[in-house]
Amino acid sequence: MTKNLHPMRYPALPALSLSNGLLLAVALLAGCTTPPSAQPAAPTPPPVAAAAKPAVDPRFVIPATNDGLPGSGPIRRYDWFQRLWQERRSKWATQVQADQRAIVFLGDSITQGWHDDLDGSFPGLKVANRGISGDTTRGVLIRLQEDVIALNPRAVVLLIGTNDLDEAGGNPWIVASNIRLIVEQLHAHDPAMPVVICQVMPSSPQKNRPGYLIRRINQLILELTLDQPQVTVVDTWKLYAGPDNNAPVELFPDLLHPNNLGYAKWANAIRPVLATLGFVERENDEFTIENDFVPLFNGHDLTGWGYRPTPAAELPGIQRWQSEFNGPDWPIVKEAADFKGLKASPDGRYVAKAGRLIVTTPPGGRRVQQLWTVQEFPKNFVLRLQFRATPNTDSGVYVRGPQLQCRDYLLAGPYTKLQHYRAQDWNDLEITVKDGVARCTCNGEVLEEAMKIPETGPIGLEGDKGQMEYRRIRMMELPAATAAAK
């Protein structure tokens, strides 16, 4: 039943002879194009009319040796891979003008298997699929100029690295170093062009891709892109990884390639990032506020919000966390800053766009910051808002100071048992404050029944890791009679 609902997704194969097609099918079914150890003698095909093949451009022949090639690590040269490499790249060479200013999805068989239009996952978005089944990070680096940069892309979405681990000489440092070189070349072409890096997805030791190596790759990617503000890293590892750190068979039936449900989760994971970059969901949020509620966020700029000085009492704890526990970057705010009329905070961490107040993904993976309302709220109230998190995001809502964790709950916790949480979609948060106690719910499910809070203070939004979006932030003061009743 499961296989019928979510069938395996394999890249469409180029036109091949029967014998060559059998060899390529064997390679694909063995993993992410892991080649067979020994190729059997090809059977003699029956006499059939020769299939038309696309013209192969000799420019796209893989060099016989690695001498003088950029990067380091493995380059595949199996016969089936060389044919696929040449045929796909020759075809793309005829589409350079048509694909100008597309958003390029770049990678290996996982990307190729999403098909040319990404199965309609992003309607109206001009995309170019530049995935080649079996490719490695060094292979992508070699073909970057003709396949990607020549298109003058608006953005690049990159997923690559799993196949390096299946080859001699492939290791986490090689993968991350080549990805760094890819980022540098894209930056040299267009420093403002966004690059979305999807972390290497889980697989299995059975596929020569153990979880501990993939996790190391993903950590190195964060470290090696720390100084690249145009890069956004999306946690597509935690999105899928099972309790054993391997790919779950219900999403990766062969432990390597996602099925339809797996691709849908991938699309949902990167859609919020594409929205923040202005490529999708560009229309303003249409919402009619309820009677007696007033907005705390106007939907188009950060008026009413700003930074507050870091309390002196918190400084020792921050310093200890960073020195003893290797905690994340936590900028110390020395002077208050009012962001009235600004579309974004000067550091770019908080952005107002299309009705959303966005806490953007920090370079390097984590950075703790806090945005506060200018106003304080001493009276009892009901606070309502919606939030949407990318995978494994950690954020929070401060209520007069104390923090309510607002995260991608099912992955990042702490409320992992919620039945109505909508992953990578909009969720309703409601906080009712009465006489120093806050009751907090998500989609009607209780998060905190009685969170103690001070008598007065502002509302705040924390940024830590991942991207969090907030919208429809509004408040209603409770009437005095209601406030007095418990």
What does the pLDDT read at residue 124?
Answer: 95
Lowest average pLDDT, out of 31-45, 238-252, 299-313, 386-400, goes to 31-45
Pick the closest to residue 395 from 359, 357, 352 (CA basis).
359
User: Do residues 123 and 172 share a domain?
Assistant: yes
User: Do residues 304 and 235 share a domain?
Assistant: no
Q: What percentage of residues in the chain have a pLDDT greater than 90?
A: 83
With respect to residue 30, please indicate whether it lies within any of the assigned structural domains.
Answer: yes
Distance CA 284, CA 298 (A): 11
User: Which CATH number is 381's domain given?
Assistant: 2.60.120.560
pTM for this structure? Answer: 0.89
pLDDT at 172 over 80: yes
User: Do residues 248 and 213 share a domain?
Assistant: yes
Q: Which of 234, 250, 276 is the last residue of a domain?
A: 276
User: Do residues 302 and 270 share a domain?
Assistant: no
User: Do residues 66 and 192 share a domain?
Assistant: yes
What does the pLDDT read at residue 55?
Answer: 72
pLDDT grade, residue 325 (50/70/90)?
A: confident
With respect to residue 287, please indicate whether it lies within any of the assigned structural domains.
Answer: no
pLDDT grade, residue 56 (50/70/90)?
A: confident
Q: What is the pLDDT of residues 90-135, one digit of tens each?
A: 999 999 999 999 999 999 999 999 999 999 999 999 999 999 999 9
Strand partners, 232: 196
SS (H, E, C) the chain: CHHHHCCECCCCCCCCCHHHHHHHHHHHHCCCCCCCCCCCCCCCCCCCCCCCCCCCCHHHCCCCCCCCCCCCCCCCCCHHHHHHHHHHHHHHHCCCCCCCCCEEEEECHHHHCCCCCHHHCCCCCCEEEEECCCCCHHHHHHHHHHHCHHHCCCEEEEECCCHHHHCCCCCHHHHHHHHHHHHHHHHHHCCCCCEEEECCCCCCHHHCCCHHHHHHHHHHHHHHCCCCCCEEEECCCCCCCCCCCCCCCCCCCCCCCCEHHHHHHHHHHHHHHHHHCCCCCCCCCCCCCCCCCEECCCCCCCCCEEECCCCHHHHHHHHHHHHHHCCCECCCCCCCEECCCCCECCCCCEEEECCEEEECCCCCCEEEEEEEECCCCCCCEEEEEEEEECCCCEEEEEECCCEEEEECHHHHCCCCCCCCCCCCCCEEEEEEEECCEEEEEECCEEEEEEEECCCCCCEEEEEEECCEEEEEEEEEECCHHHHHCC
User: Do residues 262 and 309 share a domain?
Assistant: no
With respect to residue 282, please indicate whether it lies within any of the assigned structural domains.
Answer: no
Q: Which residues contact 255 (CB under 8 A, 6 or more apart)?
A: 31, 203, 204, 206, 207, 246, 247, 249
Distance CA 275, CA 322 (A): 33
- Centre a 10 Å sphere on the Cβ of residue 103 and count the other Cβ atoms it contains: 22
Q: What is the pLDDT of residues 244-282, one digit of tens each?
A: 999 999 999 999 999 999 999 999 999 999 999 999 999
User: Do residues 336 and 473 share a domain?
Assistant: yes
What does the pLDDT read at residue 18?
Answer: 35
pLDDT at 417 over 60: yes
pLDDT at 238 over 80: yes
Residue-averaged pLDDT of the chain:
90
User: Do residues 380 and 415 share a domain?
Assistant: yes
In which residue are the tokens 């310093």 written? 319
What does the pLDDT read at residue 479?
Answer: 81
What does the pLDDT read at residue 9?
Answer: 57
Q: What is the pLDDT of residues 26-52, one digit of tens each?
A: 344 344 444 433 333 443 444 444 445
pLDDT at 12 over 70: no
- Is 179 or 48 the better-scoring residue by pLDDT? 179
What does the pLDDT read at residue 203?
Answer: 98
User: Which CATH number is 257's domain given?
Assistant: 3.40.50.1110
User: Do residues 223 and 315 share a domain?
Assistant: no
pLDDT at 24 over 80: no
Q: What percentage of residues in the chain have a pLDDT greater than 70?
A: 87
Distance CA 296, CA 383 (A): 9
Number of structural domains (the chain) is 2
pLDDT at 303 over 80: yes
User: Do residues 367 and 241 share a domain?
Assistant: no
What does the pLDDT read at residue 82?
Answer: 97
With respect to residue 289, please indicate whether it lies within any of the assigned structural domains.
Answer: no
With respect to residue 283, please indicate whether it lies within any of the assigned structural domains.
Answer: no
pLDDT at 463 over 90: yes
What does the pLDDT read at residue 101?
Answer: 98
With respect to residue 123, please indicate whether it lies within any of the assigned structural domains.
Answer: yes
Rounded to an integer, the average pLDDT of 193-201 is: 98
User: Do residues 26 and 174 share a domain?
Assistant: yes
Q: Which of 248, 276, 304 is the last residue of a domain?
A: 276
User: Do residues 407 and 265 share a domain?
Assistant: no
**Domain coverage including residue 433:** 294-484
What does the pLDDT read at residue 7?
Answer: 53
Q: Which residues contact 469 (CB under 8 A, 6 or more apart)?
A: 272, 275, 276, 356, 357, 358, 359, 387, 388, 389
What does the pLDDT read at residue 138?
Answer: 98
Rounded to an integer, the average pLDDT of 354-383 is: 97
